[in-house]
Amino acid sequence: MTITKLLARTLSGAVLAAGIALPALAFEPESPECIAPANPGGGWDFTCRQVGKSLQDLGLIGKTMQVVNLAGGGGGVAFAEVVNKRNDSNDLLVAASSATATRLAQGAYPGNTRDQVRWVASVGADYGVIAVAKDSPINTLPELLDKMKADPRSVAVAGGSAVGGWDHLKVLIAAKSYGIDDVRQVKYIAFDGGGEAVTQLLAGSVQAFTGDISEAKGFVDSGDIKVLAVLAPERLPGEFDKFPTAREQGVDAIGANWRGFYAPGGMSDDAYAFWVDSVGKLYDSQEWKDVMAANGMAPLDLRGADFQKFVSDSVESITAISKEIGIIK
């Protein structure tokens, strides 16, 4: 227990013993809500629904968390909605990820910045994957990149982030590492969420998919897609260890997508403290450890001010990468 908490508890006990009524300081959300800034089936949708269910299962919130899918602009529609219309909502969380930081770094949310919201906490990291449909003749990442190198426009890659977003950057990082000099020629098609991107892959509209392991897992389990590479330093544990890394195929590409939440900038301090604490308790639980293991998520435990600094640093880093590969000037 911290000194602050110990003093607060001692003071509270003394005041109550004296028969003096204390004001209610605890915050309890009346209508908990989570905005997933994409269509159902993607990583943001997974984050909202799984965290909302786990928060209720653990008794950390007393009511079912409503999940609202608000797609558009690689998260920009949701960000603008929160900043302009929901700025003082105490019951609201918004799913965020490396894709959110990427769009902020590239100025893709016009008139909006990372400092207009409050960053709550992370709930883990999702490693990127590059995959093809199950019946594709391509079986390795170098085979796919060789086709791109021979004719970059012959391979269309679908992802759930906007052009220049995190899904797009993951493919460009792999292509650049493989020796494709002008990565701007790589054909990337953006969809509103990883679920929609995989649907287009299965329909034959595109030749490859870039996303995160949690987005791809259901389609892997059903046998619909074939993972060419995981963008992790080494093979993931458990059921994911059958998927090769890009590195072991000679492509030095790492892509970890953190997952977490931001809240309205005008949220009260009591509400913000409640959500930071609740998401932190969720992260510490065995239930969430099991969720992470089942979905191939890696540990990333950042809360409150630490998470705020992490996001700020991420935005600065992605700005530098984006300039290097020509996404922004």
pLDDT score of 94: 98
Say whether both 207 and 66 belong to one domain: no
Domain assignment of residue 291, yes or no = yes
Express each pLDDT in 304-315 by its tens digit: 999 999 999 989
Please determine, for residue 251, whether its predicted confidence score (pLDDT) is greater than 70: yes
What whole-number percentage of the chain has pLDDT above 70?
92
Distance CA 55, CA 73 (A): 28
Asked if 160 and 38 count as a contact pair (C-beta separation under 8 A), the reply is yes
pLDDT score of 18: 37
Say whether both 34 and 106 belong to one domain: yes
The domain boundary, picked from 255, 282, 311, lies at 255
pLDDT score of 324: 77
pLDDT score of 129: 95
Q: Is 129 helix (H, G, I), strand (E, B) or coil?
A: strand
Express each pLDDT in 199-250 by its tens digit: 999 999 999 999 988 788 888 889 999 999 999 988 988 888 899 999 999 9
Express each pLDDT in 123-143 by its tens digit: 999 899 999 999 999 999 999
Phi, psi (rounded to 5 degrees) for 249:
-100, 10
225 - beta bridge partners? 133
Mean pLDDT confidence for 241-269: 94
CA 172 to chain centre: 19
Say whether both 137 and 241 belong to one domain: yes
Domain assignment of residue 177, yes or no = yes
Say whether both 121 and 265 belong to one domain: yes
Express each pLDDT in 99-124 by its tens digit: 899 999 999 898 899 999 999 999 99
End-to-end CA distance of the chain: 49
Say whether both 183 and 234 belong to one domain: yes
Say whether both 181 and 214 belong to one domain: yes
Express each pLDDT in 22-49 by its tens digit: 334 479 999 999 999 999 988 899 999 9
The domain boundary, picked from 255, 287, 302, lies at 255
Stated as kind and residue range, the H or E segment containing 187 is strand 187-190
Say whether both 120 and 131 belong to one domain: no
Distance CA 163, CA 117 (A): 23
Mean of all residue pLDDT scores within the chain: 88
Domain assignment of residue 17, yes or no = no
Domain assignment of residue 98, yes or no = yes
Cα pseudo-dihedral 43, 49, 52, 57, rounded to 10: -120
Domain assignment of residue 250, yes or no = yes
Domain assignment of residue 5, yes or no = no
pLDDT score of 164: 83
Q: Please count the structural domains in the chain.
A: 2
For residue 192, the 8-state DSSP code is S
Structural domain of residue 295, as residue ranges? 29-125+257-324
List the CATH number of the domain containing 94. Answer: 3.40.190.150
Say whether both 286 and 209 belong to one domain: no
Both tokens of 181, joined, read 């000099």
pLDDT score of 8: 34
What whole-number percentage of the chain has pLDDT above 90?
65
pLDDT score of 296: 85
Say whether both 92 and 184 belong to one domain: no
Distance CA 254, CA 130 (A): 12
Banded pLDDT at 292 (limits 50, 70, 90):
very high
Say whether both 236 and 250 belong to one domain: yes
Count the neighbouring beta carbons within 10 Å of the beta carbon of residue 22.
9
Long-range CB contacts for residues 59-66, cutoff 8 Å, separation at least 24: 60/278, 60/281, 60/282, 61/29, 61/32, 61/278, 62/28, 63/29, 63/30, 63/31, 63/32, 64/32, 65/32, 65/33, 65/34, 66/31, 66/32, 66/33, 66/34
Say whether both 215 and 262 belong to one domain: no
Say whether both 92 and 165 belong to one domain: no
Asked if 256 and 122 count as a contact pair (C-beta separation under 8 A), the reply is no
C-alpha dist (Å) from residue 262 to 37, 93, 321: 12, 6, 23
List the CATH number of the domain containing 149. Answer: 3.40.190.10
Domain assignment of residue 163, yes or no = yes
The domain boundary, picked from 231, 255, 279, lies at 255
Domain assignment of residue 23, yes or no = no
